[in-house]
Amino acid sequence: MDGGMVASFNRYSVICGILAIALAGCSTPAERAAWAAKRAAPTAVVMKSKDGTPVDGTGAAISKDGFPDFNTPLTAANVQINDTQATDIRSQLTALGAQRQTGAISQAEYDRKVIEMRKLAANHGQDTLSEIQK
C-alpha cells in the first residue's frame, strides 16, 4: 500500500469511529421513557392477612428479644396448587390431546379449547389478584 491509501484508510476509520460514538448516545424521548420504565422498581402489592389481623409489613417472625427470627418456615403469599388439582389438570390436558389424536374432536374444537386455556392463563393472575384484594 502506498502512503496516500493508508492515510485515506486512517481518515475513514477515524470518521467512522467518531460517528459510531456520536450515534451511540442518540435516542428518542419515547425510547428513554421505555428504558426508564423497564428499570423502574416494581409497584408493591399489599396483601391482606388470611385471618384479618394486621400485617406488620416485614414478613419476618420476631423472637422474644425483639430481633428477626429466621428459623421459622416461610409461607406462600397465596394458596398454592395442590397435588389433586395438578393431577386433575394433567388428566384434562392428556384427555384433550388423546381426543385430538383419535379424531374424537375436530381441529376447530381443539383450537377453540386451546384458545380458551390460553385466555385463562393470561387473565388468571390478574383475576386472582383482584379476588385476593377484596
- The domain ranges of the chain are 3-39, 78-132
Decide if pLDDT at 45 tops 60. Answer: yes
Decide if pLDDT at 79 tops 70. Answer: no
Res 77: pLDDT: 64
Q: How far apart are CA 86 and CA 33, in angstroms?
A: 41
Q: How confident is residue 34, by pLDDT bands cut at 50, 70 and 90?
A: confident
Res 104: pLDDT: 87
pLDDT digits (tens, 9 = 90+) for 114-130: 888 888 777 777 777 77
**Are 48 and 55 spatial neighbours (Cβ–Cβ below 8 Å)?**
yes
pLDDT digits (tens, 9 = 90+) for 81-117: 778 888 888 888 888 888 888 888 888 888 888 888 8
**Are 44 and 59 spatial neighbours (Cβ–Cβ below 8 Å)?**
no
Q: What is the pTM of this model?
A: 0.33
Q: How many CA atoms lie within 13 A of 36 on its CB side?
A: 7
